[in-house]
Amino acid sequence: MSYIGQFRVWRGDSNGGSLEDFEVEVNEGEVILDVIHRLQATQAPDLAVRWNCKAGKCGSCSAEINGKPRLMCMTRMSTFSEGETITITPMRAFTVVRDLVTDVSYNYEKARQVPSFQPPEGLAPGEYRMQQVDVERSQEFRKCIECFLCQNTCHVVRDHEENKPAFSGPRFLMRIAELEMHPLDTADRRDMAQDEHGLGYCNITKCCTEVCPEGIHITDNALIPMKERVAGRRYDPVVWLGNKLFRRNRS
Amino acid sequence: MTEVERHNYDVVVIGAGGAGLRAAIEARERGLRTAVVCKSLFGKAHTVMAEGGCAASMGNVNSNDNWQVHFRDTMRGGKFLNNWRMAELHAKEAPDRVWELETYGALFDRTPDGKISQRNFGGHTYPRLAHVGDRTGLELIRTMQQKIVSLQQEDYAETGDYEAKLKVFAECTITELLTDDSSGAISGAFGYWRESGRFVLFEAPAVVMATGGIGKSFKVTSNSWEYTGDGHALALRAGATLINMEFVQFHPTGMVWPPSVKGILVTEGVRGDGGVLKNSEGKRFMFDYVPDVFKGQYAETPEEADRWYTDQENNRRTPDLLPRDEVARAINSEVKEGRGSPHGGVFLDIASRMSAEEIKRRLPSMYHQFKELADVDITKEPMEVGPTCHYVMGGIEVDPDSAQSVVPGLFAAGECSGGMHGSNRLGGNSLSDLLVFGRRAGQGAADYVAGLDRRPVVLQSDVDAAARMALLPFDPPESGEPENPYTLHQDLQQTMNDLVGIIRKADEIEQALERLAELKTRMRRVVVEGHRQYNPGWHLAIDLRNMFMVSEAVAKAALMRTESRGGHTRDDYPQLDAEWRKTLLVCSATDDDELVPGIKVERKEQEPMRQDLFELFDVEELSKYYTEEELAAHPDYQSLAAKGNAEAGKEEA
């Protein structure tokens, strides 16, 4: 069942680089990451790649395979034909460190700007009561393995580095939605989602949802409901008038 | 003099898995300037792989549960070799640690009355594991990662700097601990940035080791590349001791096919939720493998076992949920006797036990994993599973209350510490372990730093030596053929897998030690290509040093322990031996070799269990594990002895 596959792998660093051709053995049941590991062990010992669990659970081995953002550990070789040349490149929205490794610090900076869970005052540990049906909404978003493929594919930043300061990307807009839907969270992040995290930039093309290896419905279940909440607060004429009349500021 | 980036902290936590993050949270909350150093990106640690759940006797599903029952289950699971004080603290504190996570924002699955739901697991008397589907570890990591962010936000509000008191140094590897010349106490840690290859020095009086396990020394393993026994080896080189290294847990259910995913974990939750093991004849074989020590505690027929899922008061649990060591050995025997599955495992069947929707709801990531990686739909067909190296019970010898090792200022928590799980860990007890002892290590470090009257000093010569050691793989060998680190690693894995694996024999272990010695000489000739910037070949060459030390500790201790217990099975000594129960094997480093120091193993008597804990057990159960002399301390011993005499009399008559 083994064959020699054709691969083009991007090699280089922040100063530039190019695609290099390799011929690598491929065996039954293997995934792209197996091929990369064999390449390291036999032909390119210093080929840089991030990986950890090799089971689609940690979100480390993100890359672009034939131009599609994917996890290398979850891309089976059987989905390609034997004669096909497979191209593996680093994620495009982030600066390259070396070879397939990119600088993903943007994501950690954005994560720090989302105000954390705020529990109700006076509720002691052990006294939290929530219904399964209520926690399930946020639980869907907490399945996120932070592979940052959604961040990489989102057209707001994919080829627009200049949008990064004003836009936190699907992963962290979803984090805001997750906290907003947490049954016991007491903070209000609606204005902030729009003003500081760039929710308005999202025009729901669902590219993020398409590449999510966890199958999270980022657009339908997180971003659109979040937009509705913001709209409800800021643009509903009755709410607007009420706020004007009663000078109700940020609640 | 070596060029190094210098940092000054009160405590440096090495490892950003559950134990490391919990320790860091505690140290920061106690006012310490804290650094977390980890080999991967923040939030990728191996804890994310934990699936089943976190054991804590909250009693939400069965109100009969309490810390005493959890304590007893843990001691039984470890075949009474556990450090009883650790097992006691763990059982008592686990519920508080889980509830605390909810205040950080964790969202566990719920019971109908809104409490945290709990599931059944091997060796646990009652449903005890707090869980989130089958991705509990991810929830723990994310929750603590987000708690750390929230602490950084507090610091930002106060000082304008997120990293004023708590900073994560991601993709940074520590290669050596540094100690004070006069006191031997910890003075810092030396390492390199993976991205640039540049050196970094942390000057700190306290280090919390939370580096996890050693699975990457074995070929078939559920562990990621990070699990190279760094904490174990760094501690040894700094003068600390390891205990229980002969006990390595082979998880009974790893994937066996396709070859590239061999070893990847299939959660015990599959069995906890109703899945059963079958051989090629379709027989539920676990009923034939209930060992004497557990006789009477498990169902004897499939009918009783099936009734147990709905009526736990009147039925006994299925032997599919025996502790992991028992199940792994049973699978091994079935395969050996020719009743295995096509790819050398056995079948794990959940498809015939519940509806497809139910399976997808309860075990979403297992469904996903098999569908994507093996083309198997677990709602329609059984999985093929077999044992995989999963967890090391052995680790750094620590004081149970403070988590401090014999080296002042060196603390350890989680998998890289030893004692808590004895000879075998129960599923679900590792997530609770890392919360309980992560917090205690953070506390221990804080107390230690507060009590210091002077800061231990880092010697420049030690820094230079550490730098020289790290750069060694770039130098061509003095003589002989250069070695490829990847090949050497594969040879090590094959050796450990074949000769110090799930079933062991004296002559095979001796052979392993010979091969290890040979591999160590090849280690001297390892050469890496390229430069220092993000160079995986170089990183592996550095990690290999640690893997060799740990492998030697495992093999030497395994050779010395002439009995079978938990995660140590000797074909030539198949029985439990009560004399060995109270004996610990303590490993320390010898100073014969700077690159890979040798290992010395010594016996040490285990401290007897405190009387009130001892009396929590039935004397009859204890008699399966303890010597007569030890049993005499139990108040019911007289009646047991009388009964024994009466029975002996009957036999004679």
CB-nearest partner of A101 from B100, B369, B534: B534
pLDDT tens sequence across A186-224: 999 999 999 999 999 999 999 999 999 999 999 999 999
Q: Which residue has the tokens 């050779």?
A: B559
Q: Is residue A249 predicted with pLDDT exceeding 60? A: no
CA distance B608 to chain A (A): 34
What does the alpha-carbon distance between residue B85 and residue B89 come to, in Å, rounded to a whole number? 6
**What ipTM was reported for this prediction?**
0.94
Of the candidates B271, B362, B532, B539, the residue annotated as catalytic is B271
* pLDDT score for B649: 64
Structure tokens at B13: 């936590």
Kindly identify which residue of chain A lies nearest to residue B60, measuring between CA atoms: A126
Beta bridge pairs of residue A22: A7
What does the alpha-carbon distance between residue B233 and residue B546 come to, in Å, rounded to a whole number? 5
**Inter-chain CB proximity B138 and A59 less than 8 Å:** no
Beta pairing class for B54-55 and B11-14: unpaired
State the pLDDT confidence band at B652, using cuts at 50, 70 and 90: low
pLDDT tens sequence across B530-581: 999 999 999 999 999 999 999 999 999 999 999 999 999 999 999 999 999 9
Neighbours of A127 (CB within 10 A): 11
* pLDDT score for A97: 96
Could you give the angle at which helices B485-499 and B506-523 cross, rounded to 10 degrees? 170
What does the alpha-carbon distance between residue A42 and residue A26 come to, in Å, rounded to a whole number? 13
* pLDDT score for B226: 93
**Inter-chain CB proximity B261 and A29 less than 8 Å:** yes
Mean pLDDT, to the nearest integer, of B353-359? 94
Kindly identify which residue of chain A lies nearest to residue B255, measuring between CA atoms: A55
* pLDDT score for B317: 93
Best CA proximity match to B555, nearest among B394, B442, B362: B394
Q: Under DSSP, is residue B166 helix (H, G, I), strand (E, B) or coil? A: strand
CB-nearest partner of B260 from A31, A42, A128: A31
What does the alpha-carbon distance between residue B610 and residue B345 come to, in Å, rounded to a whole number? 42
**Inter-chain CB proximity B42 and A108 less than 8 Å:** yes
Largest CA distance in chain B: 86
Q: Is residue B439 predicted with pLDDT exceeding 50? A: yes
% pLDDT > 70, chain A: 98
Residues of B in contact with A144 (CB under 8 A): 142
Mean pLDDT, to the nearest integer, of A112-141? 97
Kindly identify which residue of chain B lies nearest to residue A97, measuring between CA atoms: B195
State the pLDDT confidence band at A240, using cuts at 50, 70 and 90: confident
CA distance A130 to chain B (A): 5
Residue B251 annotated as catalytic = yes
Q: Is residue A145 predicted with pLDDT exceeding 70? A: yes
Residue to mutate among B57, B107, B168, B220, with most A CBs inside 10 A, is: B107
CA distance A48 to chain B (A): 6
Neighbours of B409 (CB within 10 A): 27
**Inter-chain CB proximity B372 and A76 less than 8 Å:** yes
What does the alpha-carbon distance between residue A84 and residue A6 come to, in Å, rounded to a whole number? 7
Q: Is residue B651 predicted with pLDDT exceeding 60? A: no
Residues of A in contact with B490 (CB under 8 A): 41
| Single pTM value for the model | 0.95
Q: Which strand (E) or helix (H) includes residue B585?
A: strand B583-589
**Inter-chain CB proximity B139 and A142 less than 8 Å:** yes
Mean pLDDT, to the nearest integer, of B582-595? 95
The mean predicted confidence, pLDDT, of chain B is 95
